[in-house]
Amino acid sequence: MCGICGYAGLHESESLLRRMTDIMEHRGPDDHGFFRDNDIGLGMRRLSIIDVSGGQQPIMNEDENMAVICNGEIYNYRELTEDLKEKGHIFSTKSDTETIIHLYEEYSTECVKYLRGIFAFAVYDMRRKRLFIARDRLGVKPLYYWHKNHKLVFASEIKSILECEDVPRDPCITSIDNFLSLRYVPGPDTLFAGINKLPPGHLMLWEQGNIKIERYWAPELYSGKYKSDTYYHERFEALLSESVKIRLMSEVPLGAYLSGGLDSSAIVSLMSKMSSRPVKTFSVGFGRHDDELPAARAIARKLGCDHSEIICSPEDFEILPQIIWNLDEPIGDAIIVPMYMLSKLAKEQVSVVLSGEGADEIMAGYFFHKVMLLVRRYNRLVPRPIREGIVRPLIGRIPAFILNKMFDYPGTLGRRGRRKLLDYLKLADSNKIADEYLFLISLFDERDKASLYSPDINAKLRGGTSDNSVSPDADALYIESMLMEQYNHWLPDDILMKQDKMSMANSIEARIPFLDHVLVEFLLKTPSHLKLSGITNKVLLRDYLKKLVPGSLCRQKKKAFYIPIEQYFKKGFLREMLETCLSESSVKRRGFFNWEAVKRFRGSIDENEFLFGKQVFALITMEIWFRIYIDREKGLF
């Protein structure tokens, strides 16, 4: 696990590689290495986990005409190594990274299909003067690049690319718009104009100054014949157990994040069965009666874990500028602060953690999954005249506190939430799954943004619309189509990006058993009723947990990781950031937004509606990002 970087088509001294690697020291504090050949440069920072004493990178092949650097872990490297040795390849280390270069010798770019793990790597083939770069199937590990005038610069983090003086620091206007919609920037774009993300499941070839990007893996919608439910239960149990087991591979201390929910509890339960020592577990909460700490504490006690926990308070948000620097791009979600704190706590005892991320995406675990399915059934059963003439007007008049009781979230729905519900019911009539999905995960809607943007920005963002209407024949196909949407950018550009950047900011590796590609491919071909059945989600996992941890855990509802951000704006650091970042002078200096609209958003947080608090937080994180990366303002952290 480390940070990698490099360039092609540039005649640079070693000082550029040193700057590019030094700025990522947090990703790899244990070692560093460089390779240069004419206009090619490779660099890395290493967090030593496998072959601690002998796995220094870059690693050369037997003939020393190829070099490889890798950020990640190859979990099947031992089997691959034995097979490659039988084919005559000679290994100089016991590192999983060396497997890649010998696979490339044997299979060229097809080598990536043999790898089971999380990775972003680069192989330089001196014979062909070719640079080969690839990213893992689900996008657990990041990889960014800039390409212009036959020059290529790439790295695990954008800040490393920016060390190259050829790369400009210009914001991308369309990415600002996407950020406000989603709270993150969907790939392949970034918030920097000209800097892109290599999409998950893709490879890149650089030859003679030109790049070619190809997709080698994609999730596929399945509607074939199914086997008995018993088969899927047994196969799921075997694959999840195997996924956890191979992720226990480590020469350094290892632990797990534990929220007390289904996903992390399943991971920790399996780890406990496979380990002769108590599993070190780590949890974060907010000192509220309804947060996750009591549940995490209970499951840790039940499994005999060595448990540690930390409380995140409003004062802890003072680290927000540091976090945004680590992220490279803002994430307009307050969860980034407790995530950073949790990884910092874990680093005090371990260098590797297993996390329950990904289970919600592959097994329909979110509340909005239920909403989409239930609204689809409602539209099918209730005639349009009744929906439009009776139901929607009724919802418009129902007191907000009644709607709140229907809303599976600790925050207050309020008038802004009511408007979102009514807009969604209208949108759902179109049968455009992608639009429905994006609307439910969005923060600022089109009306919000139209009033927020300055006239100049509104003019630049005018564009066409897309037609993505679908009419799946059955609920099963609808559920699968809904889940497929998450692989496009929600998983790699939000969920996994936060996990990688917040863990690596504290020099700790996060492993994600639920996103093992073998398990994901199995679940893509599993009947939908074993994921979402009525209002019961993650059916396979719940049934498995009945065996792992007998009791009420498998029947519990998903508890939202709720941060009362609207309350945190009342005083302290976030209030200071509100007054500073969203002041009239600051807004007008930036020039993107209408000050009167920003003032309304600022005032809206006094209504204690959770959507308003999230919107204001997103605006603040974007302004902090501008000050750090575009203005290069000093003293923010």
Could you give the number of structural domains in the chain?
Answer: 4
| 222 in any annotated domain | no
- Please report the pLDDT score of residue 464 as a whole number: 46
Domain that holds residue 312: 229-364+489-555
Report the range out of 222-226, 252-256, 425-429 with the highest average pLDDT: 252-256
The listed range with the strongest mean pLDDT (79-83, 384-388, 603-607) is 79-83
Describe the chain by its helix, strand, coil percentages, rounded to 5. Answer: 50, 15, 35
Q: 């496998």: which residue's tokens?
A: 50
Whether 30 and 147 map to the same domain: the answer is: yes
Is the domain of 235 the same as that of 276? yes
pLDDT-based confidence at 474, cuts 50/70/90? Answer: confident
Q: Are 454 and 591 in contact (CB under 8 A)?
A: yes
pLDDT at 415 over 80: no
Radius of gyration of the chain, Cα coordinates, nearest whole angstrom: 25
Report the pLDDT averaged over residues 23-33: 94
At 164, the pLDDT band (50, 70, 90 cuts) reads: very high
Residue 280, beta-bridge partner list? 255, 306
- Among the candidates 432, 466, 483, a domain finishes at 483
Q: Which of 197-200's residues contact partners 24+ apart within 8 Å by CB, and which partners?
A: 197/142, 197/143, 197/144, 197/492, 197/493, 198/120, 198/133, 198/135, 198/143, 198/144, 198/145, 198/154, 199/135, 199/139, 199/492, 200/135, 200/136, 200/137, 200/138, 200/139, 200/487, 200/491, 200/492
Same domain, 246 and 341: yes
- Kindly state whether residue 221 falls inside one of the protein's structural domains: no
| Number of Cβ atoms within 10 Å of the Cβ of 550 | 10
The pLDDT value recorded for residue 43 is 97
The 10s digit of each residue's pLDDT in 82-98 is 999 999 999 999 999 99
Together in a domain, 379 and 302: no
* Phi, then psi, of 321 in degrees rounded to 5: -60, -40
Q: How far lies 90's CA from each of 73, 105, 462, 513, in Å?
A: 20, 12, 58, 31
Are 159 and 195 in a shared domain?
yes
pLDDT number for residue 566: 84
- Check if the beta carbon of residue 154 is closer than 8 Å to that of residue 144: yes
Mean pLDDT value across residues 566-578: 91
- Residue 520: pLDDT above 70? yes
Whether 265 and 258 have beta carbons less than 8 Å apart is answered as yes
Continuous segment of H or E residues that includes residue 353:
strand 352-354
Q: Are residues 63 and 76 in the same domain?
A: yes
Q: Cβ(100)–Cβ(56) under 8 Å?
A: no
Looking at the fold, whether 179 and 34 belong to one and the same domain comes out as: yes
Q: Considering the chain, what is the average pLDDT of its residues? A: 91
pLDDT at 404 over 80: no
- What pTM was estimated for this model as a whole? 0.94
Flag whether pLDDT at 466 surpasses 50.
no
Interval 239-253 mean pLDDT: 94
Examine the domain organization and report whether 124 and 252 are in the same domain: no
Q: Are residues 415 and 339 in the same domain?
A: no
Assess whether 610 and 495 both reside in one domain. Answer: no
Same domain, 170 and 43: yes
Q: Is 509 helix (H, G, I), strand (E, B) or coil?
A: strand
**Structural domain contains residue 220:** no
Do 373 and 444 lie in one domain? The reply is yes
Q: Inform me whether the pLDDT recorded for 160 exceeds 70.
A: yes
Token pair 């800039």 is found at 146
Tokens 């024949």 correspond to 473
Q: What is the mean pLDDT of residues 387-406?
A: 76
3-state class (DSSP) for residue 119: strand
Percentage of residues of the chain with pLDDT beyond 90? 72
Question: Which residues are catalytic, by number?
Answer: 2
